[in-house]
Structure 1
Amino acid sequence: MSATLRAPPQKIQSTGGRKVSVRLAWWVPLKQQRKIPTMLPIKKLKGSIGRPINLYPLSPVAMTVLALAYIFLTCNETFWSIGADVFSGHPFSFAGFVAAVFFLMLTLSAPFTFPWTVKPFLIFLILLSAITSYYMDSLGVIVDRDMIQNVMVTTITESKHLFTIDLVSHVILFGLFPAVVVACVKIKRFSAVRTIATPILTTALSLALAAGLLMTDLKTYSSIVRERKDYMSSFQPGMPIVGAIRYAKMMMRSANVTVAAIGEDAVKGASYGPGRKPVLTIVVAGETARSQNFSLNGYAVDTNPRLAQLPVTSFHDVTSCGTATATSLPCMFSQFNREDYSFQKGISHQNVLDVIDHAGLHVEWWDNNTGDKGIAARVTQRSLTNTDNAEFCPAGECMDGIFLQQLSDFAQTITQDTVLVLHQIGSHGPTYYLRYPQEAERFAPACRTAEFKNCTSDQITNAYDNTIAYTDTVLAETIEFLTRQHQLSTALIYVSDHGESLGESGLYLHGAPYFMAPEYQTKVPMILWMSPTFKQQFAIDDACLSAKADAPLSQDNLFHSLLGMLDIETDMRNPELDIFETCRNHQKVASN
């Protein structure tokens, strides 16, 4: 004889007529459990992450539509702003275009509208849009393929300055909270046939709607997409997703590449010979220095007081290969010009440092930035970024003055012709105030935070100008040091990798797509100094070079000009791109 367990009586409360089925107490045998209609208050229905809320269950498609609408409305301030300008006076065309973009996004999202994939997918989209919209709407930074490449090759030391309180609060408000809501909402379940058919039908219908809307004014819409690339580049999360796909394809194409040797025919020219002093040429790869803020190039603020007192040549009209280090740095040392350069070509070919090495010169790369990007893979390298030095590295990363401490001992060991590359941290933002000693602050008040919204435009510019003035000090002291090395034949050439935006047209930092990048990001300083001994040995006419100060040049010239400057004979050198070609007395070189 078995006993029957019964649950204690349950209290039924009213919710205004809404019926909710609940199970009896857990100790009632499963076979004897039955469901009874119960009225429970809304307050009793609690949800949490991982446990669905029983209120208002949504189908996967409905949830996707609502999530995309949320992203469109809250994470696309720049997209709406540019669109209002582009479609000014044509609100219906604007509405039609936005609707078409919405349905295109729904088309791309539809394959993920299965009950088991929709939540992770939408949570990813919401968090991604919250992060990228902050950089787009606050700093004007477009997250495209090149920007994703920058992110992938950056270091924690560099990237930590971009994680500000403002960013975190933005992501929590616009990303984390909505993601929690998505995680908690219950998903409606359908039959297997409907579950499989719905994503297919949604894809077809949304694509048809998008196409139909675009066809209503295809000529105008296609013209806008073609001419105003900045418009679609501002759309979140469209551009980041497209950029990520393009980055993945780029990395797949460049996997397992074999590096092709170039310039193996390189030899030293007639400038070298017995009895000559060893040559020391320092190539300074600057960081984020824009030409417009160099007083040597006409800037009204005196940012170059030290270099102005030295016999240097400043080239005023030099264009960069890219707008970010990951592109510009390898490009400027490669044999390819900007139009021909690609990531795959860069990593699959040796560069000018290899050619110089083939010619028999000793080559070293000293880094105070985020690495050599593969440029120095086959030469001697030294990283100074994490040097334990209280004077130049007080915040865990070093200022460029650290190079000067290392140079003294290094110069005493030189017994052969040498090329030394110094990769600066320079003017890298947004923490400009960390790039120079506080006692070297010439322009005040200066912005002393990574959150530009807390600084005025003048404060941001002052902080940036202080970095240029500190670079001026480092370069000047390096030149003065080289002047004292009477046992060597010395020279220095400085070229920045790219420029920087300081709030002009709402843009900050760098990395804008080249097609829309302002000249603040593409015009870079290039400065040359040569000792009298160097000029005599290589028979270089200083006045001839000075006459080229206003000539339009680019980083395309660096590869060929370094070979020409150092009199390295190779078929790789293009005389037309060598700025020294017409300023060298070849007969004098032969007779020296």
Structure 2
Amino acid sequence: MIPFDALKTRFRDLRNAYPISPIGLTVLSIIYIFCAANASFWTIGTEVFAGHPLSFAGFVSAVFFLTLAFFSAFGFPWMIKPFLIFMVILSAVTSYYMDTLGVIIDRDMIQNVMVTTVTESKHLLTAGFVTHVVLFGVFPAAFIACVKVGRPSIVKTLAMPVATMSLSLALAAGLLMTDYKSYSSILRERKDYMSSFQPGMPVVSAIRYAKMMRRSANVTVAAVGDDATKGPAYGPDRKPVLTIVVAGETARAQNFSLNGYGVETNPRLAKLPVVSFTNVTSCGTATATSLPCMFSQFNRDEYSFQKGISNQSVLDVLDHAGLHVEWWDNNTGNKGIADRVTSRSLTHTENAEFCAAGECMDGIFIEALKEYAATVTQDTVLVLHQIGSHGPTYYLRYPEEFEQFKPACRTAEFKLCTPAEITNAYDNTIAYTDEILAQTIEFLEGQDQLSTALLYVSDHGESLGEGGLYLHGSPYFMAPEYQTKVPMILWMSQNFKTQFDVDRGCLSAKTDSPLSHDNLFHSLLGMLDIQTDVRNSDLDLFASCRNLQKVVHN
């Protein structure tokens, strides 16, 4: 047996005898990344270029040279190893989510990562993920770290990266020009193709995110609806109004039996006088985008991160009108929506029944609401931000006794579960949301001293494996309806309907109408009879379902 010290000496001699140039190491690393971290890129490319192998080879070669041009900017001996190690590990991380879950790392996904919490992100750090990163990231990175990089003359050291970059760009341009019409058409029509390329998409997305954050630094929040006042429905000798807005999490409309789903996921709500709107579209496919967008005055086409943080939300408008507004959170925060109103986090409440796993189930809201309602003496809007159906650990979102659809997937490793088990676990979360909403409505119905209402709408939907996609956050241009169709449910007490003279039948006639998060800002103001110039009656569901003359008379 060769002594360990002798092995170390042989390895060191071999390493010193065959140094590799920075450009050579870069080329080998790119080849490795192309082969080991781009399964989705090759799969989609094979489909896109079916029957045209030469065009496929030309396009892949162009992408290779573009990647080499970018990597060459870091091709100096003192920079190349840290850069390549980072890129190899980054590609291993992002390829796992792309190839396993179909998750594209675009700018919005980078934003989601930056605003997520340890509690939320820990569920994504599975054994499969760690194994993948170690095998395809850490081990190759260790090899790069051990390779000896040659140190040419100063002239070559400075000239080679520049020359390599220039030549690579020229070759890439030449290859693309050989069939420019076809290539440009593919890039235009199949945006998912280049979105699957690692590490290109994550790097570009990170740059776009950094630019977005730089542009939005030090913004001044503009007042919205500071002319808001209470309308004629707020007359004398009336009861205080308590309106609960439930911001759902990851609930897709297709799995609500109220909307025609074949599995009975809404047995409790089905017995209550609710209006379920069945054709509602979300503003985004992830909380970081959808949540602030749905509470803003902007529609989906107008909304941007910068506009969202630089303009007040509908909660501010309600506050301007003299209503008391509170935000209760059982998720990852209010994303700036409730920065100027009373906020309360329930996520880490000490409660053995609902918070035993280190994060709380939504049943925690019921306990807090029972204490809170008795203190309401003024017109109030209370927003409950749920944890809802947030994955991949669906089984943690409901108590075990609510696991009515079995067998259910009880792990974050979807590859260890069947499609039916994943769907069962997800359906259990919807059934538990049904229970929480029903309990809340029944509690509000019993508050005779108040005029009460509840409006529920989810922030976005979820993919459960359809088309190879899981979870949410797909770029909107390619997101399936499972991620963009969301449930919206309304309940009003008799006191509320009388005070605001809302015609429930009129609203019921709109259940199948095409609606979206664009309607929430204006409909909430219309529902509560808030007079302001920023309310758009065309987007207000209640505008045509209230008799204003009767309200004034009352």
Which of the numbers 138, 142, 167 marks the counterpart of 1:205?
167
In 2, Cα distance between the equivalents of 1:392 and 1:236?
40
- Which runs of no fewer than 5 residues in structure 2 stay unpaired? none
Which of the numbers 276, 280, 283 marks the counterpart of 1:314?
276
Residues 327-380 of structure 1, C-alpha deviations (whole Å, 9 max, x = no match): 000000000000000000000000100000000000000000000000000000
Residue of structure 2 in register with 1:169 after alignment: 131
Q: Residues 130 and 174 of structure 1 are in contact (CA less than 8 Å); yes or no, is this contact kept in structure 2? A: yes
Residue of structure 2 in register with 1:470 after alignment: 432
Which of the numbers 253, 257, 265 marks the counterpart of 1:303?
265
- Secondary structure (helix, strand or coil) at the match of 2:212 reads helix
Residue of structure 2 in register with 1:444 after alignment: 406
Shift of 1:44: 3.3
- Secondary structure (helix, strand or coil) at the match of 1:57 reads coil
- Secondary structure (helix, strand or coil) at the match of 1:103 reads helix
Residue of structure 1 in register with 2:477 after alignment: 515
Q: Residues 289 and 524 of structure 1 are in contact (CA less than 8 Å); yes or no, is this contact kept in structure 2? A: yes
Counterpart amino acid of residue 407 in structure 2: P
Matches within 5 A, 1:265-276: 265-276=227-238
- Secondary structure (helix, strand or coil) at the match of 1:284 reads strand
Q: Residues 45 and 54 of structure 1 are in contact (CA less than 8 Å); yes or no, is this contact kept in structure 2? A: no
In 2, Cα distance between the equivalents of 1:96 and 1:232?
15
Matches within 5 A, 1:113-192: 113-192=75-154
Residue of structure 2 in register with 1:15 after alignment: none
Residues 64-95 of structure 1, C-alpha deviations (whole Å, 9 max, x = no match): 00000000000000000000000001111111
Matches within 5 A, 1:431-510: 431-510=393-472
- Secondary structure (helix, strand or coil) at the match of 1:391 reads coil
2:15 is aligned with 1:53? yes
Counterpart amino acid of residue 486 in structure 2: V
Q: Residues 214 and 221 of structure 1 are in contact (CA less than 8 Å); yes or no, is this contact kept in structure 2? A: yes
Residue of structure 2 in register with 1:408 after alignment: 370
Residue of structure 2 in register with 1:246 after alignment: 208
Shift of 1:111: 1.1
In 2, Cα distance between the equivalents of 1:177 and 1:113?
21
Shift of 1:53: 2.9
Shift of 1:274: 1.6
Residue of structure 1 in register with 2:513 after alignment: 551
Residue of structure 2 in register with 1:395 after alignment: 357
- Secondary structure (helix, strand or coil) at the match of 2:279 reads strand
Which runs of structure 1 show a deviation greater than 4 angstroms over 4 or more consecutive aligned residues? 40-43
In 2, Cα distance between the equivalents of 1:550 and 1:499?
18
Q: What TM-score do you get using the length of structure 2 for normalisation?
A: 0.98
In 2, Cα distance between the equivalents of 1:200 and 1:425?
51
Q: Residues 55 and 186 of structure 1 are in contact (CA less than 8 Å); yes or no, is this contact kept in structure 2? A: no
Cα distance, 1:589–1:178 mapped onto 2, change above 3 Å: same
Cα distance, 1:54–1:42 mapped onto 2, change above 3 Å: farther
In 1, Cα distance between the equivalents of 2:311 and 2:393?
35
In 1, Cα distance between the equivalents of 2:439 and 2:8?
71
Residues 410-455 of structure 1, C-alpha deviations (whole Å, 9 max, x = no match): 0000000000000000000000000000011110000000000000
Counterpart amino acid of residue 65 in structure 1: V
In 2, Cα distance between the equivalents of 1:66 and 1:524?
46
Residue of structure 1 in register with 2:66 after alignment: 104
Cα distance, 1:276–1:182 mapped onto 2, change above 3 Å: same
Q: Residues 60 and 188 of structure 1 are in contact (CA less than 8 Å); yes or no, is this contact kept in structure 2? A: yes
Cα distance, 1:52–1:475 mapped onto 2, change above 3 Å: farther
Residues 164-191 of structure 1, C-alpha deviations (whole Å, 9 max, x = no match): 0000000000000000000010011111
In 1, Cα distance between the equivalents of 2:252 and 2:17?
57
Residue of structure 2 in register with 1:94 after alignment: 56
2:536 is aligned with 1:580? no
Residue of structure 2 in register with 1:363 after alignment: 325
In 1, Cα distance between the equivalents of 2:509 and 2:346?
37
Residue of structure 1 in register with 2:24 after alignment: 62
Shift of 1:56: 2.3
- Secondary structure (helix, strand or coil) at the match of 1:390 reads coil
Shift of 1:192: 0.6
Q: Residues 335 and 559 of structure 1 are in contact (CA less than 8 Å); yes or no, is this contact kept in structure 2? A: yes
Q: Residues 52 and 184 of structure 1 are in contact (CA less than 8 Å); yes or no, is this contact kept in structure 2? A: no
Q: Residues 52 and 186 of structure 1 are in contact (CA less than 8 Å); yes or no, is this contact kept in structure 2? A: no
In 1, Cα distance between the equivalents of 2:45 and 2:300?
31
Shift of 1:223: 0.5
In 2, Cα distance between the equivalents of 1:568 and 1:44?
80
In 2, Cα distance between the equivalents of 1:196 and 1:408?
70
Counterpart amino acid of residue 106 in structure 2: D
In 2, Cα distance between the equivalents of 1:466 and 1:261?
41
Work out the percentage of aligned pairs sharing the same amino acid. 74
In 1, Cα distance between the equivalents of 2:436 and 2:483?
22
Residues 469-522 of structure 1, C-alpha deviations (whole Å, 9 max, x = no match): 000000000000000000000000000000000000000000000000000000
* Residue correspondences, number: 551
Shift of 1:41: 8.3
Matches within 5 A, 1:517-536: 517-536=479-498
The CA RMSD over aligned residues, in Å, is 1.3
Which of the numbers 2, 6, 9 marks the counterpart of 1:44?
9
Residues 91-140 of structure 1, C-alpha deviations (whole Å, 9 max, x = no match): 11111100000000001111110000000110010000000000000000
In 2, Cα distance between the equivalents of 1:200 and 1:193?
11
In 2, Cα distance between the equivalents of 1:81 and 1:70?
17
In 2, Cα distance between the equivalents of 1:557 and 1:578?
6
In 1, Cα distance between the equivalents of 2:238 and 2:39?
64
Q: Residues 52 and 183 of structure 1 are in contact (CA less than 8 Å); yes or no, is this contact kept in structure 2? A: no
Shift of 1:533: 0.7
- Secondary structure (helix, strand or coil) at the match of 1:524 reads strand
Shift of 1:43: 6.8
In 1, Cα distance between the equivalents of 2:376 and 2:169?
67
Cα distance, 1:149–1:44 mapped onto 2, change above 3 Å: same
- Secondary structure (helix, strand or coil) at the match of 1:584 reads coil
Shift of 1:42: 7.5
